[in-house]
Structure 1
Amino acid sequence: MNGAWQTSLKERLSYGLSDGADNLVFQVMTTYLLYFYTDIYGLSAAEVGTLFLIARFADVIESVIIGVMIDHTHSKYGHSRPFFLWYALPYVIVAVLTFVVPPFDHQGKLVWAYATYLLLGFFYSTVNLPITSILPSLTNNSREITLLGVIRQFFGQTSQIIVAIFTLPLIALLGGSDQQRGFLLTIIVFATISLILILNTFVHVRERIKMPPATSFKRTFKMISHNKPWLILSGIIFLYWVTTSMKNQTTIYYFKYNLNAENLVPIVNTFTAAALIGIVAIPFVTRKFSNKQAMMTGLIIASAGQILIAFGSEFFHNLPLIFTGTFINTVGSGMVIALVSIMISDTIKYSQQKFNVEASGLLASTDDFGVNLGLGIGGLITAGLLSQTGYVANHSQNHATLNMIVMNYAWIPLLAYILMIILLALYDQKVIYSYTKQHAD
C-alpha cells in the first residue's frame, strides 16, 4: 500500500531545488574545469589528469566518511537535513576559490589547484549526498518517492541546461576578452544562487519518517558485500558519470579543434534541455513498468543517440546528424538519471528489511562516490589521451589528437552505454519489490 502523501508542494520544490543548487557549481566544474585548467590557468593536460584522478579517489573515501557521518548524526534537525545548513557556505566559497588564478609560480599554482579542487570535492559531497540519504525519511509513499526523485532531477537538469547555455556567454559578458576574469565572475554568480537555494532546502524540508538506529560498521560492510542490487546500481552510476564526464569535457575541444567552430558549443549544449523530456516521462513510465525496465529503456535510447553521434562525427562530419544524436541521447540519459536516487532509495529499504541494517547515509554515498570516481576516471582518460597524443593548448592539433578527441567524444561513451545495459540486465527488480513492497501500479 502506498498510503497518504506526506510532503507539501513547497517541500517538494525545495527538495528538488537542492540538486539544482548543487548543479549550478558542479556542472561548471564538470564541463569547463579541464578547459579552464589547460587553456587559462596554465597547467598541462598531464598535470590536470593526475589532479583529477587523485581528487576523485579522495572523494570516494570522503563520500563513505560523509555517509557514515550522516548515519551517526543525531541533531534536532535530523540526520541529513543539518548538512545543508552546516556546509552550504564552505561549499560555495571553495567553488569560487577554485576559479581564482593566484599570482604564484607554476608550482605554487599547482598546489593551489590541488588544495581548492580537493576541498571542493569534499564540500560538494557534504551538500549533495544528503539529498539522496534524506529521501527515504521524507515519506514512506513509494509513488511520492518517485515524484520527489523526478522533481529533484528536473531541477538538477534545469541547472545543467542553464550552465550549458549561459556559461560561455556569461564569461564573455562579464569578462570581455579576459576569460580568466569572466570565469571568476560567472562562478561567483552561480555560487551565490547556489547558497540561497541550499539554505532554502534546509528551511523547508522535514525528516518525518524515523530511521532505525545506525548499524555497526562491521555489520554494515558485511551487508554491502551481499547487497547485489546496490553493487550493480553503483557500477551503473560509475559508468554513467565516466561517459558523461568524457563527453562534456570533450565537447568544447571537438568543436574548437576538429570543427573550428567553438561558437557552436552553446548551441549544441542547448540540447541538454532534452533530458527534461526523459525526466518528466518517468512518473508515467513507472506506472506501467518497473524502475529497471524504465532505466533499460533510457539506456537503449541513449545508446541509439550515441551511435548517431559516433557516425556523424567519425564518418559523415555531419552537424545535423550529431545534433539529432545528441538530442536522442540526452532524452535517454534523462530517464536514467531520474531513476538513480529512486532506485538507491529502494536499495536502502531493501537493506533495512532483508538484512535489518540501517545505513542510509552510507548506501546513499554510492551516488556521490559513483559520480566522483566516474568523473575522476573520465577526466583522467580525457586529459591522459590529450597529453599522450601531443595536445598543445590554443594551437592547431595534430592528426592523432584530433582522432583521439573523436574517440573520446563518440566511441568510448558508446562502449560505456553497452556495459551499463549488460550490468542492468543483472539487476533483480523482483527481489527488491519482494522486500520493499513497492509495486509498479
Structure 2
Amino acid sequence: MLAKQLKQDLLSTKVRTQVEKPGQKEMWTYGLGSFGIFTVWTLIGAFLTYYYTDVAGIGAATVGTLMLVSRLFDGVTDFGMGAIVDVTKSKHGKARPWLLWMSFPLAITTILLFSVPNLSDTGKIVYAYATYLLFILLYTAVSIPYKTLLGVMTQDQNSRSTANVYAGIFIMTGTLVVMTLTQPLVAKIGWTMLAVIYGVITFASLYVTFLVVKERSSSYGDHAEKVSAKEGFKALTKNKYWVMITGYCLIFYATTALTQGAALYYSQYILGNIGYFPFYGLAVSVPMLIGMFFLTPLVKRYGKRNMAVVGAIIYVVAQSLKLIDPTNVVLFLGGSGLAGIGAIPPIALLFAMINDTVEYGEYKTGVRTEGLVNSGASFGIKVGTGLGLALIGWLLGFGGYVGGAAEQTGLTLQMILALNIYIPIALGVLQLVIMLMFKLDKEYPTVLAELQRRKR
C-alpha cells in the first residue's frame, strides 16, 4: 500500500513538472478580460431597465417580459456556444479567437442598447428586442470562450486559481466603477456617449487578453478530437463534480441576486431609510475587493474547496448576526460586510473549480469538453440569477407589496426579512453541503497523473 502511494506521488510530481504554467503577466492579463466583460454586464444589469422605462419610455411590464425572454434565450445560447467552442480549430486555438472576433461587435451592440431612437411605441419595443437579444448572443459568444480560456491556458491548479483571483479583483473593480460613476457621467455626457466609453473599455480589455493569453492544455499531445454535442452532453452527466459545481453555481448566484436585489426594500422598509442602500453597496464591495489580494496564498496552502467551505460558514454566520436586531443599521451593514468576505472564495475561485472538472470528466469518460463544461455551469449561473430575482417578485407579491407606498403590511415586511435573511441563510447552508461533498482538489493530482499517462 505504501509502495503504491509512493509511486502515485512520484508520478504526480513528474506530471507537475510537465505542465506548462503561465507567468504573472499572463495571469493578470487574463483577469483584465473580466474587467471588460463584467463592466458591461453590470451596466446592463443595474441600469438598462431604468433606461428603457424612464428614458426610452417603454412600459415597465413590457420591459419585464423582455428581461424574462432574454434570460431563457441566454441559457439556450450558452449550451450552443459551448458546443461551438469545443469544435473550433484555428491558429489561435479554440477559445482565444472568439475574443478577437466578437469583442468589437459586442462593444457596438452595447452602444446600440443605449441609443433607442424616437420611434412609435411599437417601434421602440421592436428595437429593444432586436438589440438586446443580439447583445445576449454576442455576450455569450465572448463570455463562454473567455471562461473556457481559463481551462485551456494551463492544467496547473494553482495557476488557474491565481488567474481566477486576479479576475475577481478586476470584477470587483469594474463593479465599483459602474456603480459609482455611471450616474454622474450620464448627467454630463448622456447615455449613448457613456455606452461608447464602456464599449471601448470592453473591446480594449478583451483584445489585450487575446493578444497575451495563450492556449496550452487543449492541444496537449495533439490528442484533441472533435466531440459531438450528444457525446459531450452524455459525458457531462457522468461527471459528478461538474454536476455539483453547476448546482453550486445556481445556488450561489441565486443568493447573490436575491441579496443585492432585495437590499433596497430592506433599507426602505426595515431600516426606515432608502438612503442606507449606497452604504450597503460599499459595505459589501470594499471588503471583497481588499480581501481578493490576500486570497492567493491561502488558496495555495489550503485549496479552493476548503476556502469555499470557510466562505460558506462565514456567510451563514454573517447573515445570522442580522437576526439579533433586524432593524439595527450597524448590524445590517456589518453583517453584510462580513457576508461579502464569505463570498470572496466563490467569486474568485468558481471558474477555476469549474475548469478543474474538465480533467475529471476526461478522466472518467475519455471525452474532453471545455466549452460544454463552462457553458453548462454558466447556464446554472444565469438560471440561479433569474431564480433569485424571480423570488423577490413572487414573495413581495405574495406579501401584498404596494410599490411606492410609505408603509407596507406586516406580511410584506416578513417577506422582505425572508428575502434578505432567512432564505440567504438556507441557501448558504446548501452551498456548504455541496462544498463538503466536492473533493476534487484532493483527487486532482491523481486524475492529472492518469491523464498524462494515457497520452504518453
* TM-score tier after normalising by the smaller chain length: 0.7 to 0.9
**TM-score, length of structure 2 as denominator length:** 0.84
1:115–1:261 distance in 2 versus 1, CA, 3 Å: farther
In the TM superposition, what is the alpha-carbon distance from 1:131 to its structure 2 partner? 2.0
- What do the CA deviations read for 1:358-391 (whole angstroms, capped 9, x no partner)? 2111111134222222222223333444556566
Written as runs of structure 1 = structure 2, the 5 A alignment for 1:342-357 is: 342-357=352-367
1:330 and 1:417 mapped to 2: Cα distance? 12
Q: Is the 8 A contact 1:351 1:358 kept in 2?
A: yes
In the TM superposition, what is the alpha-carbon distance from 1:108 to its structure 2 partner? 4.3
Q: Secondary structure at the match of 1:134?
A: helix
Q: Is the 8 A contact 2:304 2:345 kept in 1?
A: no
From 212, 220, 225, the equivalent of 1:204 is 212
1:10 and 1:79 mapped to 2: Cα distance? 21
| Corresponding residue for residue 232 of structure 2 | 220
| Corresponding residue for residue 381 of structure 1 | 391
- What do the CA deviations read for 1:88-110 (whole angstroms, capped 9, x no partner)? 12222222333345434555444
Q: Is the 8 A contact 1:150 1:279 kept in 2?
A: yes
1:420–1:43 distance in 2 versus 1, CA, 3 Å: farther
In the TM superposition, what is the alpha-carbon distance from 1:297 to its structure 2 partner? 0.9
1:34–1:245 distance in 2 versus 1, CA, 3 Å: farther
From 130, 135, 138, the equivalent of 2:150 is 135
2:127 and 2:274 mapped to 1: Cα distance? 29
**2:73 is aligned with what amino acid?**
A
Q: Is the 8 A contact 1:277 1:331 kept in 2?
A: no
Q: Is the 8 A contact 2:271 2:328 kept in 1?
A: no
Residue 68, structure 1, aligned to residue 77, structure 2: no
- What do the CA deviations read for 1:302-361 (whole angstroms, capped 9, x no partner)? 22222234x37xx44221111111111111111112121111121011122221112111
From 82, 93, 104, the equivalent of 1:89 is 104
| Corresponding residue for residue 119 of structure 1 | 134
| Corresponding residue for residue 300 of structure 1 | 313
Q: Secondary structure at the match of 2:226?
A: coil
Residue 80, structure 1, aligned to residue 88, structure 2: no
**2:312 is aligned with what amino acid?**
L
**1:283 is aligned with what amino acid?**
T
Q: Is the 8 A contact 1:45 1:387 kept in 2?
A: no
1:434–1:39 distance in 2 versus 1, CA, 3 Å: farther
After superposition, the CA RMSD in angstroms is 2.9
Q: Is the 8 A contact 1:31 1:249 kept in 2?
A: no
Q: Is the 8 A contact 1:39 1:394 kept in 2?
A: no
Written as runs of structure 1 = structure 2, the 5 A alignment for 1:35-434 is: 35-36=50-51, 47-171=62-186, 173-174=187-188, 181=190, 183-209=191-217, 210=219, 212-255=224-267, 259=271, 261-271=273-283, 272-309=285-322, 311=323, 315-386=325-396, 396=406, 398-399=408-409, 403-429=414-440, 430-434=442-446
1:294–1:375 distance in 2 versus 1, CA, 3 Å: same
1:65 and 1:33 mapped to 2: Cα distance? 25
1:64–1:334 distance in 2 versus 1, CA, 3 Å: same
Q: Is the 8 A contact 2:270 2:327 kept in 1?
A: no
**2:385 is aligned with what amino acid?**
L
- What do the CA deviations read for 1:224-249 (whole angstroms, capped 9, x no partner)? 11111001100111111112122222
Q: Which moved more, 1:380-389 or 1:365-374?
A: 380-389
1:78–1:330 distance in 2 versus 1, CA, 3 Å: same
**2:314 is aligned with what amino acid?**
I
1:357–1:91 distance in 2 versus 1, CA, 3 Å: same
1:112 and 1:53 mapped to 2: Cα distance? 17
1:409 and 1:125 mapped to 2: Cα distance? 30
From 442, 447, 456, the equivalent of 1:435 is 447
2:420 and 2:114 mapped to 1: Cα distance? 25
| Corresponding residue for residue 20 of structure 1 | 35
1:397 and 1:385 mapped to 2: Cα distance? 17
**TM-score, length of structure 1 as denominator length:** 0.86
- What do the CA deviations read for 1:237-278 (whole angstroms, capped 9, x no partner)? 111111212222233444356556444433321231222344
1:107–1:413 distance in 2 versus 1, CA, 3 Å: farther
Gaps of 5+ in 1: 176-180
Q: Secondary structure at the match of 2:343?
A: helix
Q: Secondary structure at the match of 2:438?
A: coil
Q: Secondary structure at the match of 2:175?
A: helix
1:30 and 1:437 mapped to 2: Cα distance? 42
**1:193 is aligned with what amino acid?**
I
1:362–1:118 distance in 2 versus 1, CA, 3 Å: same
Larger radius of gyration: 2
1:35–1:265 distance in 2 versus 1, CA, 3 Å: farther
| Corresponding residue for residue 178 of structure 1 | none
1:435–1:279 distance in 2 versus 1, CA, 3 Å: same
**1:298 is aligned with what amino acid?**
G
1:16–1:146 distance in 2 versus 1, CA, 3 Å: same
In the TM superposition, what is the alpha-carbon distance from 1:38 to its structure 2 partner? 5.6
1:184–1:257 distance in 2 versus 1, CA, 3 Å: farther
**2:208 is aligned with what amino acid?**
N
Q: Secondary structure at the match of 2:67?
A: helix
1:266–1:413 distance in 2 versus 1, CA, 3 Å: same
Q: Is the 8 A contact 1:5 1:144 kept in 2?
A: no
